[in-house]
């Protein structure tokens, strides 16, 4: 990570025109990011409530960083598309005849119409071309011409450069079967940053797993960082999930790896009475001998993956405002698992458990957000050793925001 201790001790350096409150919050972030884990503290309340900081995060993180936005199976065949809206950017992910993915603007170049309005177009579908429902302009979806204007009715009598009319395209890469998107045309590739994480996941073959269930919670009333931090530690198992996860995956047994930078991992073994079978699955961790449990892998700023041998759960968070976000959860299984006898019943049970656990987490993140807005403002708390990923997250934020 590029943030060194010597850099982290100086004053924060936002733009001179930044509001004083924002400058103070960034200065506190710089101080906290320089602390060792043993003295680590939570971010101050304004970090989760300030509209100015939210706008700073959108510009410096979400419009510059690689974001996990989908699974490749959501766009499985040539001609398939997936409609997305990312922080006010209307997009469509398409797959061309060679199997390559493209991320295109969904805004017609004529008079700004949504090419796939949710009022009439499904989220997923199959198209040969994109046709604007307003004035019937059409755009190609094949290979190097993806996004190129193909037709514009009744434009022959005006001075109009058809060849120069094209939908803007954005960077897209595939990582372990996940679609990664970047709105910054100058961003470096994502793969080198995640090489170490690839090595940790290499024995699981996640790239070939198939999605069997996706559920979205929209407009959750909590800052995106509250949700991400909740998903980055198992310490809360003993409280939030006391009757669900804690008896099976005890918080006290979690081992958090010493990572730094963009990604982190941790492992929680199954409690001994549950090792004969829990319905959650079992995980063999390389390097420590066969050991049943769950591997958590996170990629900042907005993605966490929980891996078991017979299932995995991917969670993606996207902010929708200073104090709201959307949560999207996808359940994946290894190839052919869905064809085994009794899978339908097991799948129904897994979906119900995931929904229950997410509802418990929603109680937690909503409660934290209410606490952050209380008066007088609460003071910074101290981190447990199990909250190392949150300490690492602060360093990541400092790297991007300062």
Phi, psi angles (nearest 5°) of residue 307: -110, 125
Range in 261-275, 298-312, 359-373 with the lowest mean pLDDT: 261-275
**What pTM value is reported for the model?**
0.90
Cis bond before residue 19 (omega within 30° of 0)? no
If you search the block for the tokens 């309340």, which residue do you land on?
45
pLDDT confidence of 12, banded at 50, 70, 90?
Answer: very low
**When comparing pLDDT for 10 and 37, which is higher?**
37
Q: Is the pLDDT of residue 291 over 90?
A: no
pLDDT at 290 over 90: no
Rounded to 10 deg, the angle between the 20-33 and 388-401 helix axes is 130
Nearest residue to 115 via CA among 127, 106, 103, 124? 106
Task: List the single range of 12-21, 28-37, 251-260 with lowest mean pLDDT.
Answer: 12-21
Which residues are within 8 A (CB) of 86 and not within 5 positions of it... i.e. 6 or more apart?
62, 67, 69, 181, 183, 318
What pLDDT score does 286 carry? 40
Percent of the chain with pLDDT over 90: 83
Whether the bond between 385 and the residue before it is cis, its omega within 30 degrees of 0, is no
For residue range 209-267, list pLDDT tens digits in order. 999 999 999 999 999 999 999 999 999 999 999 999 999 999 999 999 999 999 999 99
Name the token pair of 327: 């949560």
Over residues 147-201, the pLDDT tens digits come to: 999 999 999 999 999 999 999 999 999 999 999 999 999 999 999 999 999 999 9
* Helix H or strand E encompassing 46: helix 46-49
- The answer, yes or no, to whether residue 312 has pLDDT greater than 90, is yes
By the 8 A CB rule, do 328 and 215 touch?
yes
Q: Is 345 a residue whose pLDDT tops 90?
A: no
Residue 338: pLDDT over 90: no
Mean pLDDT of the chain: 91
More confident residue, 341 or 226: 226
176 versus 17: which is more confidently predicted?
176
Residue 326 has pLDDT above 70, yes or no: yes
Whole-angstrom distance, CA of residue 359 vs CA of residue 366 = 11
Rounded to a whole number of angstroms, the distance between the first and last alpha carbons of the chain is 14
Q: In this structure, are strands 312-321 and 255-256 parallel, antiparallel, or unpaired? A: unpaired
Give the largest Cα separation in the chain, rounded: 78
**Contact at 8 Å (CB) between 251 and 234?**
yes
Most confident range (mean pLDDT) of 110-119, 308-317, 375-384 is 110-119
Pair 390, 397: CB distance under 8 Å: no
Pair 229, 364: CB distance under 8 Å = no
* Predicted local distance difference test score (pLDDT) of residue 339: 86
Round to whole Å and give the CA distance between 299 and 286.
Answer: 20
Question: What is the rounded distance in angstroms from the CA atom of residue 206 to the CA atom of residue 222?
Answer: 30
- The residues that bridge with 95 in the sheet, in sequence order, are 101
pLDDT tens digits for range 104-155: 999 999 999 999 999 999 999 999 999 999 999 999 999 999 999 999 999 9
Q: In this structure, which long-range contacts are made by residues 343-349, counting pairs with CB atoms below 8 Å and at least 24 apart in sequence?
A: 346/279, 347/212, 347/213, 349/279
Written as six digits, the tokens of 29 are 């972030």
Q: Alpha helix locations (H) across 120-207?
A: 195-201
Nearest to 327 by CA among 351, 303, 301, 356: 303
Across 48-64, average pLDDT: 97
d(CA 135, CA 141): 19
Residue 11 has pLDDT above 80, yes or no: no
pLDDT higher than 50, residue 285? no
């Amino acid at each position: 990570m590029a943030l060194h201790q010597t850099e982290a001790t100086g004053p924060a350096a936002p733009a001179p025109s930044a509001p004083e409150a924002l400058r103070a919050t960034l200065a506190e972030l710089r101080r906290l990011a320089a602390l060792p884990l043993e003295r680590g503290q939570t971010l101050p309340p304004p970090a989760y409530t300030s509209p100015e900081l939210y706008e700073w995060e959108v510009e410096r993180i979400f419009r510059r960083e690689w974001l996990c936005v989908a699974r490749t199976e959501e766009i499985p065949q040539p001609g398939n598309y997936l409609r997305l809206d990312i922080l006010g950017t209307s997009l469509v992910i398409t797959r061309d005849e060679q199997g390559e993915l493209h991320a295109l603007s969904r805004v017609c170049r004529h008079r700004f119409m949504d090419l796939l309005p949710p009022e009439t177009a499904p989220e997923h579908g199959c198209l040969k071309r994109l046709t604007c429902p307003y004035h019937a302009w059409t755009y190609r979806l094949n290979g190097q011409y993806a996004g190129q204007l193909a037709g514009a009715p009744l434009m022959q009598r005006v001075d109009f450069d058809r060849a120069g009319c094209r939908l803007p395209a954005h960077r897209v890469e595939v990582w372990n079967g996940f679609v990664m998107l970047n709105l910054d045309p100058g961003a470096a590739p994502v793969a080198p940053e995640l090489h170490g994480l690839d090595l940790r996941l290499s024995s699981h073959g996640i790239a070939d797993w198939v999605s069997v269930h996706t559920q979205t919670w929209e407009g959750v009333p909590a800052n995106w960082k509250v949700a991400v931090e909740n998903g980055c530690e198992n310490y809360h198992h003993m409280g939030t999930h006391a009757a669900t996860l804690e008896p099976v995956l005890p918080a006290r047994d979690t081992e958090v790896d010493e990572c730094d930078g963009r990604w982190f991992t941790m492992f929680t073994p199954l409690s001994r009475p549950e090792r004969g079978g829990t319905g959650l699955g079992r995980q063999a961790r390389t390097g420590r001998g066969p050991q049943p449990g769950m591997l958590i892998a996170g990629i900042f700023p907005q993605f966490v993956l929980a891996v078991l041998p017979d299932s995995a759960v991917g969670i993606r968070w996207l902010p929708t405002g200073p104090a709201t976000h959307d949560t999207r959860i996808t359940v994946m299984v290894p190839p052919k698992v869905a064809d085994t006898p009794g899978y339908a019943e097991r799948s129904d049970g897994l979906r119900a458990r995931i929904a229950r656990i997410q509802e418990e987490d929603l109680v937690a993140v909503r409660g934290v957000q209410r606490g952050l807005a209380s008066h007088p403002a609460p003071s910074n708390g101290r981190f447990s050793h199990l909250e190392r990923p949150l300490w690492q997250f602060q360093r990541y934020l400092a790297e991007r925001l300062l």
